[in-house]
Amino acid sequence: MTEELIAFLQHAVRLESDAAMGYERLAAIMRGRGKTDLTVLFGRFAEFSRLHLTEVRQRLEAALNGRAEPPVSWQWPDGATPENPLAALDQPALDVRGALQFAAAMERRACDYYATIAGQTRSEVVQELAQQFAEEESEHVSHLQRWIARGPA
């Protein structure tokens, strides 16, 4: 079961790293368009991702218990991390509403990814962590949906 935990945490590290990079890019796009409130919002989401990344890396180090990190056999639902598309946005076509909707969709994908892991694993530890991570991603979706509901920024 430790190997399953390690593989799960390796995937979570990659997912959170991609999320942080994507949100940094979204913040930069919004900064360039003079959208201060969205620059702050996406910067905050990048920081959340970096904090979660730090936490996941610490859990991974603890699970490895001094062993070398094994090679990763990436297994993603669509062939890429759920939040990877955030880092490869078509910048010129991205408006404010589109950026918020895109971010919410990526958070939903991350939530679904973690929820699927929680539902499929036989490891209680992985199930607990995946469920916790899914709930955190769900909170991000809700936060972004509130921004979308507010209307144009």
Taking only the tens place, the pLDDT of each residue in 101-135 is 889 999 999 999 999 999 999 999 999 999 999 99
Residue 150 is encoded by which pair of tokens?
A: 């507010």
Domain that holds residue 67: 2-150
User: Tokens 């507010």 belong to which residue?
Assistant: 150
Give the pLDDT confidence score for residue 60 in this predicted structure: 96
Collect all residues with Cβ–Cβ distance below 8 Å to 145 and sequence separation of at least 6: 104
Report CA Rg, the chain: 16
pTM of this structure: 0.90
pLDDT at 24 over 70: yes
Among 21-30, 76-85, 141-150, whose mean pLDDT is lowest? Answer: 76-85
Share of the chain above pLDDT 70, in %: 91
How high is the pLDDT of residue 140?
A: 94
Mean pLDDT of the chain, nearest integer: 89
pLDDT of residue 89: 59
- Residue 8 sits in a domain of what CATH number? 1.20.1260.10
Q: What is the structure's pLDDT at 95?
A: 82
| pLDDT (tens digit per residue) in 62-90 | 999 999 999 988 888 877 888 876 555 56
- CA–CA dist 102, 83 (Å, integer): 10
Number of separate domains in the chain: 1
